[in-house]
Structure 1
Amino acid sequence: MSIAIDVVGGKWKMHLMWVLAEGPVRFGQIRRKLDGVSEKVLAENLRQLEASGVVHRELYAEVPPRVEYSLTPLGVELNKALAPLEIWGDQNRDALASRPGISAS
């Protein structure tokens, strides 16, 4: 299990995985969907997920350049494994929201 935690650990990576599950998306779109993430942190997390092989970065030779991010087949499988965790969080949101250090958003 520790290798999976290495891939998705941290505050933003699972959120990123869920955003990318919706299909190819551009950096600015991701940033708008993840309220509170800085540009630097978002770029760093995307690079780490790309290095792990779960995110694909596609650079289009256009002017201006366009970059889209999407899940690789490995990323799609990982998202399926994360789905029960998301369900558990949704089912226990109210009970967890009152706990110190837990964000109910």
Structure 2
Amino acid sequence: MAGQPWSATSGGLVLHVRLTPKGGRDAIDGIETMSDGRSVLKVRVRAAPSEGEANAALCKLIAKSLHVPARDVTLAAGATSRVKRLEIAGDGNALASRLNAAAGSG
């Protein structure tokens, strides 16, 4: 594995996600290494990829998994792509620890 798909920053955490919309359920499916060597967190949501519904469902699922308010999760890049970058406000090390637990149980 190339590493974790997240990194702690001074303001929180940056997370790289590969989103599967219309995935049948809302879930974190673990960590995947893509063909270019980047690590991403695999996430699926029930919402369709229209009018930002899947992106909103992604942010809501990540917030719930990390026990932070939904307003602390921001889509920073990849609004129309399957690979997205999220920024999560808070204590980066604590968030990384929670995310590690959520990814391991996904």
| TM-score above 0.5 | no
Q: What is the TM-score with the length of structure 2 in the denominator?
A: 0.31
Which of the two has higher C-alpha Rg? Answer: 1
As a proportion of its length, which structure holds more strand?
2
Q: What is the TM-score with the length of structure 1 in the denominator?
A: 0.31
Considering Cα pairs closer than 8 Å and 6+ residues apart, tell me whether 1 or 2 has the greater RCO.
Answer: 2
As a proportion of its length, which structure holds more helix?
1
